[in-house]
Amino acid sequence: MMNSDDIRDLGEPIIRLAAAAKRAVRQRIRERWERQWERETTSAPTKRLVQAPNKKTLRLYEGLTKPQCAILIQMRTMRIGLRHFLFKIKAAESDRCPCDEGSQTPKHVLMQCPRYIFPRTKLWDQLYDLGIEMDYDKIISNPQATRYVVKFMHQTGLLRQFQHVGIEDDDDDEPVGVAAMDLGVEDDGY
């Protein structure tokens, strides 16, 4: 009589339940992805903030519009239309901020640049009310702070690709959901 080891030696397929097979496939995919994530060398700015992407990371983007998500992603990855990055890709002559107090990075603009001291003061008041430390990595990694940070960065006017996009506070008078679609009156199905 043959046992299960003999069957494996013959190269015959092992019969599994569909659910077990799906779990096994998902596990292999996850392990493969984790190995790739560990080997990746170009994701240093992201790895500084996140050990490995997970559902908690997705919470940062909940409730944000596409332009807001784009700004936040760019700030977190440091791949953003500011002089530091543009200089790295040879699209700007210098990485220096016009304030001449450092390289124009999202961190510099958000935390230090004297050109944005007044909007920054309002931002810091909002973050203080939320109990968030004034640390760049903690600020851009806090789901409660992201809306304020994105609005601040947009208000600087530095990100020209977003100059025609409105990124404002939620207005209670604004319709949401289906009402925001302005579909008009129902037409009785005809």
Residue of 129, 157, 154, 155 whose CA lies nearest to 142: 129
* Per-residue pLDDT reduced to its tens digit, 105-142: 999 999 999 999 999 999 999 999 989 888 888 898 88
In eight-state DSSP terms, residue 88 is H
Query: Structure pTM?
Result: 0.64
DSSP E strands, the chain = none
- Identify the three-state secondary structure at position 96: strand
Hey, where are the domains in the chain? 58-162
Q: What angle do CA 45, 76, 166 make, to 5 degrees?
A: 160
Run of H or E including 45: helix 44-49
The mean per-residue pLDDT over the stretch 150-158 comes to: 91
Among the residue ranges 6-10, 22-26, 66-70, 134-138, the one predicted with the least confidence is 6-10
